Homo-oligomer: A and B are copies of this chain.
Amino acid sequence: MTQITSEETRAFKAALEAQGFLLPSGVRGVNGFGPAFEDILQRFNALVSRVAADDKAEELTFPPVVPRALIEKMGYLGNFPHLIGSVHSFFGSDAKAREMADQASNGERWEAALDITDVMMTPAACYPVYPLFSGKLSPNGRLVTTLNWIFRHEPSDEPTRFQSFRMREFIRVGPSDVVVAWRDQWLERARTLLLDLGLPVESDVANDPFFGRVGKMLAANQRDQKLKFELKVPVISSTDPTAICSFNWHQEHFSSKFGIQDADDRLAHTACLGFGLERVTLALLKTHGLDTTLWPAATRALLWP
C-alpha cells in the first residue's frame, strides 16, 4: 500500500505537516519530527519505562547500523530481502571521486563506483542484542530493553509507514516456560497500558511480512503456531487498524544461531515485544486530536505525570 486511499487520511497527514508534527523530507516515508510530536513520543517512551521499572531490564543502546555478517547469519536476506538497507561507500581514487561527483552534478547515476561496507541498516531493534546472549544463561535468563532506529525499505505515502522509525523493545531470553509467561504478562500489560491511554486497541494473531512464495508458507505457519501477536488501533483506516505493538516468540530460532543455552544446557527460547513509537504517537493524535491540551484527563495524567 503506497498511496493514500482515503480522503480522511490525506487530511490527517496534511494537518500533521501543516502544524509541524511531521517534517517531510521529500522522500516518501522519511520524515523529521517537530517538538510537539517528539514530546508525545518521548513521554510515551518514559511511560513504558515506568510501567516496566520493576522488571529491571538492562538498558542497552545501539547505533542504526549492524554488522552485515549479523544480517546474513539471521537469515534476513532470505526472509525479507525487499526490506533491507545495505550501506555502500566509496573506496576509489582521486580521479574516480571527481568522475563520480561530476556525474552527480550532471544528474547522471553515479553509484557504480561504490562498494559494500561491513554494515547494513538495523532492520529490527532486537537484532544487535541476540549475539550478546551467546553462552550459558543463569536460571532466570536475561531481559534487555532498547530504543533503536529501524530501517525498512517500503516507501509509502501513508503516515503510519515510515522507512526510518523507532522501536522501543524488550527482549527476553531464558527457559521456554519463563519466556512464555513473560510474553503473556506483557500481552496483558501492554493492552492495559494502551487502553488506559484511551486507545481503542484490539489484539490479533499476526505474521511478519515474509517475502515471496516460500514467505507465504512461513507466514501461515507463524499464524498457525500463534508465534506473533499485534495490538492494533485504527489510524488510517477503521477497517484495517494499524499495529502499534507486536510480540514475537522465536522459540529456539535465534538461540540455535548464537549458541544460547539455558541453565540446564538446553537451547534457550527468546521473545521480544516492541512498541512502534511513531505509530503510537500517531494513534494518540488520531484518536484524541492534534491539540494535546484537549486530550482526556486520564490520558494526560499518564503522559504528563
Interface pick from A97-105, A182-190, A224-232, A243-251: A97-105
Cβ–Cβ < 8 Å partners of A117 in chain B? 85, 153, 155
Say whether, besides A60-B32, A118-B27, A65 and B164 are in contact (CB < 8 Å). yes
Q: A78 at the A/B interface (Cβ < 8 Å)?
A: yes
The reply to whether B35 and A59 form a contact with Cβ atoms under 8 Å apart is yes
Cβ–Cβ < 8 Å partners of A151 in chain B? 64-65, 87
The reply to whether A59 and B88 form a contact with Cβ atoms under 8 Å apart is no
Encode A89-120 as 1/0 by CB contact (under 8 A) with B: 11110100110110011000111001011110
The reply to whether B101 and A90 form a contact with Cβ atoms under 8 Å apart is no
Q: Which range holds the interface residue count of chain A?
A: 35 or more
The reply to whether A31 and B213 form a contact with Cβ atoms under 8 Å apart is no
Q: A58 at the A/B interface (Cβ < 8 Å)?
A: yes
Q: A263 at the A/B interface (Cβ < 8 Å)?
A: no
**Oligomeric state, in number of copies?**
2
8 Å CB interface, A46-65 against B = 58-65
- A selection of 23 A-B contacts at a CB cut-off of 8 Å is A23-B62, A25-B131, A26-B70, A30-B118, A34-B60, A38-B59, A63-B163, A64-B64, A64-B149, A65-B85, A65-B164, A75-B101, A78-B97, A81-B92, A81-B100, A82-B91, A82-B97, A83-B89, A86-B87, A86-B89, A94-B212, A97-B212, A117-B155
Which residues of A pack against B, CB within 8 Å?
23, 25-28, 30-35, 37-38, 58-70, 72, 75, 77-78, 81-92, 94, 97-98, 100-101, 104-105, 109-111, 114, 116-119, 121, 128, 131-132, 149, 151, 153, 155, 162-165, 211-214
